[in-house]
A and B are shown apart, each in its own frame.
Chain A
Amino acid sequence: MSRPLGRLQVALLFLGLACAALPFADLGWGRTDPAAALLRMMGQAVSPNFAAIEAIGSTLASTIAFAVAGVAFGAGAGFLMAPFWARRGVRIASVALRSVHELFWALVLMQVFGIAPLTGVLAIALPYAGIFAKVFAEQIEDGPKGPPRAAPPRSDALSVFLWVRFPLVRADMQSYVLYRMECALRSSAVLGFIGLPTLGFQLDTFFKQGQYAEASAILLIYIALIATLRHWLRWRAALVWLGGALIWLAALKHPPMGSGALWRFLSQDLVPAPLRKGEGLARLADWLGSLLRHEALPGLWSTLVLGQIALALTGLLAIIGFGAIVPRVVGWGRYPGHLLLVTLRSMPEYILGYLFLQLFGHSMLPAILALGLHNGAIIAHLLGREAQSLSSLHRRDAPGGVNLLLYELVPRLFARFVALCLYRWEIILRETAVLGILGVATLGFYIDSAMAELRLDRMAVLLIVTGLMTAGVDALSRHLRRRIDPAGNGPLIAASC
């Protein structure tokens, strides 16, 4: 094992890279009057209008239904994969499933099933299955070792799993599934932006019609739903929720899809154009080379540039902001602090990006702000929670305010902070790629354009590039985390979406 890396070194390296990336980023105001736009929107948003309650209600019901069904099938599939984690094939399948973002899955599935409920459910269930498989496998692996060892030798594996390993980690699995529901509510909301009848769709409609008061109402209810999730979603009622979700989804009207779409998709659309036209391998190499040069590499470059700046912003906001929820630092200020962090955490990056885009117009700025604020709020929340559990905080003579922050909390939590940032790095890049669909020239932009032109062969290649990037960053971040803290910081499950 190589020498542990300094945490400060890593943090400064990432900050330096972000500064170096700044000149390459397009940070201009795409719009000349953001302040006026902000005033106009805020003017209406401060008086939310709940009159459109029917549209709001059915949109939120669909958002919840897609999330529940997606998590149920994803968790089910992941649960079946987890015991076979030792097999290479299962691990590769899990990586492949989870390195493609829900929104990209939805774009692909739409080619096969159209804008149908199945598209939305699978778009959540497929990547989540990969994530569940990995997390469940780790939970089984980290479970107590004694009981499985004490089981009779030569018992079959299924029996040992059901009788010993599974009961030991069942509670952990259940609480992770609940946590994932929160993530799924965000995923489900975002799926609306590509046409499914969830929050994103309704939000876009409200905005296009200038109904900011209605938009503000639906966002408020949505945030309240996520913040109170643990009170209205209980394990005991899981089957009721799933049944309700399936009935609701089955009743959704959707345009019919011609038969044979799946076969056409696999046998024609996905086949690279030169092969489909029978132009030979030389043309295929040209095709691939040009695709990589003109779309994949520029897209990858701007994804990395944008992601790097967003990561630095995330870190800055988190390390400055986490004190805002620690009572000894800000006193009563913690209540507005919590409210702000909850709001920013609940809103998916994509929706924040969409909102900022309306304000600032087209550039990288909305995306960077969205990513920085959302991820910064998540890390700040986790750090703040951990700060409160530090025993030194409860010392009678502990300092307060900024002194406590600078002399106690930041030094104590810095290792955790760096680990969390590295952990979010992969997630930020995934989301950066996806924000391209909003018009920033990251990988998602090229993927979305290829789909709009129905060049699905190109879309497939770009998706593979995106998946490889995600998997690569995941591996690099894990390596760095181990170098910084060889003993490991324990599972970072609470920061995984």
Chain B
Amino acid sequence: MTLVAFTTEDLAHGSKRVLKRLSLTVSPGERIVLLGRSGVGKSTLLNAIYDRMTASGLRVALVPQDTALVPQLSVLRNALIGRLDDQSWLRNLMAWVRPGRGQRAEVQEILSQLDLAGLIDRPVEVLSGGQKQRAALARAIYRGGTVLLADEPVSAVDETQARRLMGLLHTRFQTSVVALHDVDLARAYGTRLIGLRDGGVLFDAGPEAISDLQIQRLYSDV
């Protein structure tokens, strides 16, 4: 059983063809890490996976690269946005005016695991870059779902915290596709690493099967 499948397809970002003749399947339980230089098409691929999965009715939690939080709203309300599709518009309206006690408690519980407990009512725009990233993770965790799709979700936090956060995501989501730039973190987290280069897949294997030379070739200039 696969969650999503691409067979020799071209993926475009705007009008520019970024990935050519791509074949890829994602199966339940996999933790896929996308590696590659910036601009290679990691975000394009994540977006394509997101569109296809949501179209087929899967519940997907998304962490975009720019966090896509609403800066003017509090951390709490940003987290609640993760479940807007679970309730009627009327209940959403009531929560907009004043979030329910249960909702607040549930978000608070997630925030304490992300070291954001004290910031629940703070508008996102006053947070630091790392805090914003964790608020975006809170929204994804609060949403929950079959699959997590995340684009550089821990690029603005320090190494130790990054490992801890990825561990947390591991316990919360059975399946995930994550773009990362930290190769060590990728090896520690992923069950499958995909290296993208020059519009195609350079390698696609388990972390133990990928050599340092392959990684070097992925990022080299020639």
Contact = CB atoms under 8 A, between A and B. Distances in A.
Contact of A149 (B68, B85, B86): B68
B143 interface: yes
Given A150-B62, A156-B89, A156-B92, A163 B84 contact: yes
A164 B70 contact: yes
Interface in A114-132: none
Name the prevailing secondary structure of the A interface residues: helix
A151 interface: yes
Interface in A141-187: 146-147, 149-156, 158-160, 162-164, 167-168, 170-171
Interface in B55-74: 62, 64, 66, 68-73
Interface string B85-110: 11011001100100000000000000
A168 B80 CA distance: 16
Contact of A152 (B64, B66, B85, B93): B85
Nearest to A148: B68
Contacts of B71: 168
Contacts, number: 60
B82 interface: yes
B174 interface: no
Contacts of A146: 64, 66, 68
Query: A159, A164, A170 — which one has the most chain B CB atoms within 10 A of its CB?
Result: A159
A170 B96 CA distance: 15
Counting contact residues on chain A (CB < 8 A from B), the size range is 20 to 34
Contacts of B92: 156, 158-159, 162-163
B83 interface: yes
B113 interface: no
Contact of A163 (B64, B73, B88): B73
Contact of B93 (A149, A150, A153, A162): A162
A164 B81 contact: yes
B54 interface: yes
Interface string B138-165: 0000010000000000000000000000
B125 to A, nearest CB: 10
Given A152-B82, A155-B85, A160-B84, A147 B68 contact: yes
B192 interface: no
9 contacts: A146-B66, A152-B83, A152-B143, A162-B92, A162-B96, A163-B84, A164-B70, A164-B81, A170-B72
